[in-house]
Amino acid sequence: MSRNARFRQQLQHATLMHAMSAHNPLSARLAADAGFDAIWGSGFELSASYAVPDANILSAGLHLDMMRAIAAVVDIPVIADIDTGFGNAINVAYAVPQYEAAGVSAVVMEDKTFPKDTSLRADGRQELVRTEEFQGKIEAACAARRDPDFCVIARTEALIAGLGQAEALARATAYEAAGADAILIHSKQTTPDEVLAFIAAWQGRVPLVLVPTAYPQLREADIQALGKVGLVIYGNHAIRAAVGAMRDVFARIRQDGGIHAVDAALPTVRDIIALQGDAGMRELERKFLR
């Protein structure tokens, strides 16, 4: 079964899938090794790794290239965060086949205006496009895919924008009607209450997707028990882990005046060489170098 078909089947049935964010192929490989079901090709993480805001500062091509590089080194599905789709429905129609050709299994597109502002920032600039306009973008994405198993996930930022449950439900319902394969409902409240209220009220047929960054107390077992959620995305834990680890080690080296004290606690150079795919290269050497 293809990677796309596996993703679609798992999203629609069976147990809750979990995706870990990645900002480069190495972080994706570590997430796959840890046992995550899928990779979240996070715009927030990629922006952070370039030290720029998550506000469409980076080009679409740069994100696309990173998704291609990630999909090349992992077997698990890659879910690309295409923000608002880089413009209107026309931009979406051009972007989706490129993501599909890059080896991605799904895109998540959000209903904000382009250029977007990041969702979890306090007092971010959160403006939504008209529901009909976003329906057109979903329809464009669905029409542009070549593999019917490629998934189009619609994300509503209605709760993030403070527009309330009724607007969030109306938008999610309209997005399902436009052909979305799943609905991502995002929230920046520090308790899961508004997301739980949304889930309880959701009457749609397609599964829901959660990104519980702001309400980490909601565990997978609790989400699974709700029955309507097909995917949980851990949106920024790769970059936060990397930043924390680098900050600690860099500070320690300055403090100690050398690398003598930190060395034993770090992954070995041999470990990194293995993560670079050294075994595969040695196999090529054995076969082809004469």
Nearest distance from C-beta of residue 235 to Mg ion, angstroms = 7
Cα torsion angle, 93, 95, 98, 102, sign: negative
Region from 11-19, 35-43, 70-78, 187-195 binding Mg ion, contact rule CB under 5 A: 35-43
Cα torsion angle, 100, 102, 108, 109, sign: negative
44 lies in the site for ligand SPV, by CB under 6 A: yes
Phi, psi angle pair for 162, to nearest 5°: 75, 25
235 lies in the site for ligand SPV, by CB under 6 A: yes
Q: Are 185 and 195 in contact (CB under 8 A)?
A: yes
Query: Per DSSP, what are the bridge partners of residue 151?
Result: 106
236 lies in the site for ligand SPV, by CB under 6 A: yes
**Residue 164 CB neighbours (<10 A):** 12
Number of residues that bind ligand SPV (CB under 6 A): 14
Region from 97-105, 116-124, 215-223, 262-270 binding ligand SPV, contact rule CB under 6 A: 116-124
In this complex, which beta carbon is closest to ligand SPV, that of residue 189 or of residue 268?
Answer: 189
Residues in the chain: 290
Chain positions 187 to 226 lying near ligand SPV, rule: CB under 6 A, are: 211, 213
Query: Per DSSP, what are the bridge partners of residue 208?
Result: 183, 229
Q: Where are the beta strands (DSSP E) in 140-260?
A: 151-156, 182-185, 208-210, 229-234
In this complex, which beta carbon is closest to Mg ion, that of residue 178 or of residue 233?
Answer: 233
Among residues 27, 119, 126, 131, the one that binds ligand SPV under rule CB under 6 A: 119
43 lies in the site for Mg ion, by CB under 5 A: yes
Nearest distance from C-beta of residue 21 to ligand SPV, angstroms = 6
Measured between alpha carbons, how far is 56 from 107 in angstroms, rounded to an integer?
A: 16
Chain positions 73 to 102 lying near ligand SPV, rule: CB under 6 A, are: 81
Nearest distance from C-beta of residue 30 to Mg ion, angstroms = 20
Measured between alpha carbons, how far is 287 from 290 in angstroms, rounded to an integer?
A: 8
Write out the residues near ligand SPV by the rule CB under 6 A: 21, 42-45, 54, 81, 118-120, 211, 213, 235-236
